[in-house]
Amino acid sequence: MARKKTITREQILDAAYTVVSTEGFSRFTARNIAAKMNCSTQPIYLEFQNMEDLKMALIKKVHDHLATDVFPVEHTGNKVYDLVLNYVGFATKERRLYRAMYLEEYGGGQEMQEFSYNYYKNLVKAEPRFKDLTDKQIDSLHMGTWIVATGIAALMSSGIIQPTEEEIIRLVEESMESILSMEEPIKLS
């Protein structure tokens, strides 16, 4: 008779989330995750092909968390401003997870960038104010907004600056206006 699973996929993902959100991806190992669950590494490898498979599942879990619980929270009624405020809020409230996902070399870097870009692009395309923008203009607007928001988020999560929501919105609005007034959109590689 086969033994019944006592540790679920979701429990493993929750433990992996805890490891990354408290210690970062540098501690993302089967042993550390198993230690959080007080078990051996065997359940991890029964549920996931390898650690990369677990990492991709964890990144999806974080994407889902951001898309449903973090990014859509309304503050101002302006979806772009709200997204920036929520992104900065995520960086300051969940510092370690933010750094692990967006800043660490071990993290989801490219996947997080693509997720954030697609989220932003869909949000902007749904805003009447931006309905006539070309894809190049949206890309440029994203890059500028992303740079400003990431700068604010990194500095706030490090405790270096503490701007108000109004100051953050002003910085974002001024950078957006500057970008939209450019003859040639910004293209960074």
| φ and ψ of 7, to 5 deg | -115, 125
For 29-78, write each residue's pLDDT tens digit. Answer: 999 999 999 999 999 999 999 999 999 999 999 999 999 999 999 999 99
- What DSSP designation does 39 have? S
How many Å apart are CA 109 and CA 100, to the nearest integer?
Answer: 9
How many Å apart are CA 173 and CA 141, to the nearest integer?
Answer: 11
For 123-175, write each residue's pLDDT tens digit. Answer: 998 888 888 998 888 989 999 999 999 999 999 988 999 999 999 999 999 99
Q: What pLDDT is recorded for position 18?
A: 96
Q: Given a cut of 60, is residue 2 above it in pLDDT?
A: no
Label residue 145 exposed, middle or buried (CB < 10 Å: 0-12, 13-18, 19+). Answer: buried
* Residue tagged 């500095």 (tokens): 155
Q: What pLDDT is recorded for position 189?
A: 65
CATH of 1-59, one of 1.10.10.10, 3.40.30.10, 3.40.50.300, 1.10.10.60: 1.10.10.60
Q: What pLDDT is recorded for position 61?
A: 95
3-state helix, strand and coil shares in percent for the chain, rounded to the nearest 5 = 70, 0, 30
* Residue tagged 């650690």 (tokens): 51
Q: What pLDDT is recorded for position 173?
A: 95
